[in-house]
Amino acid sequence: MEDASAASFRPTWQQSLARGLYLGVLLSAVGVSVALLATLAGAPSLPTRCWLLLALGPSLAGAPVGLLWRRRAGTVVDAGGIRTESPFAAEVEPWSRVVDLRAERRGGRTVVSVYLSSGASKQLTAPYTGEFFAADPRFEMKVFALSHLWRSHRFGGVPS
């Protein structure tokens, strides 16, 4: 039987798409800069289609990569604690170590931070909200659900 109090929070598809496009544009900028520096240093000039591929290829490839990243990143809350997942790592913080949970402004975003009994804080992978494509219209509901689950586990369990 699955735990009734389990919840999963993932970035929205718009957030993931924007992240992929952003990383693709950065990669395009690096690629074009390196090719431009190489050309200025005396390397043979690239054909026009190669310049277009360097400028547009990573940006267009970043969109589906961002959407795939969405499936591997997020936060899972269950009876064992809060598990943050990313494509490269996963961390679990048991409920016994979680002292506080709050929404905070970090840069241009509002994120959920978990404060631990050791004095450290961890930023959750999701949910978060920001401007433009980083906006999550259900952010407040997600923070409320996280807070409810934390309080329920901290002060006596979740009713079934």
- Per-residue pLDDT of 54-91, as tens digits, reads 888 998 898 888 888 888 888 988 888 899 888 788 88
CA dihedral 28, 70, 137, 123 (to 10 degrees): -90
Strand ranges of the sheet holding 109-116, from the earlier edge strand across to the other edge: 98-106, 109-116, 121-129
pLDDT digits (tens, 9 = 90+) for 119-132: 999 888 889 888 88
Which pairs from 69-72 meet CB under 8 Å and 24+ separation? Answer: 69/16, 69/19, 69/20, 70/10, 70/11, 70/13, 70/15, 70/16, 71/10
Of the candidates 154, 148, 10, which has an alpha carbon nearest to the alpha carbon of residue 94?
154
Report residue 91: phi and psi, to 5°: -130, 145
| pLDDT for residue 158 is more than 60 | no
pLDDT value of residue 104: 92
Q: How far apart (Å, rounded) are the C-alpha atoms in residues 70 and 127?
A: 12
pLDDT at position 1, please? 36
Is residue 126 within 8 A of residue 9, CB to CB? The reply is yes
Mean pLDDT of 138-148: 90
Q: pLDDT tens, 10-61? A: 898 888 888 899 899 999 999 999 988 988 888 888 888 888 898 889 988 9
For 2, the enclosing helix (H) or strand (E) is none
Q: With 60 as the cut, is the pLDDT of residue 109 above it?
A: yes
As given in the structure block, the two tokens for residue 109 are: 């975003």
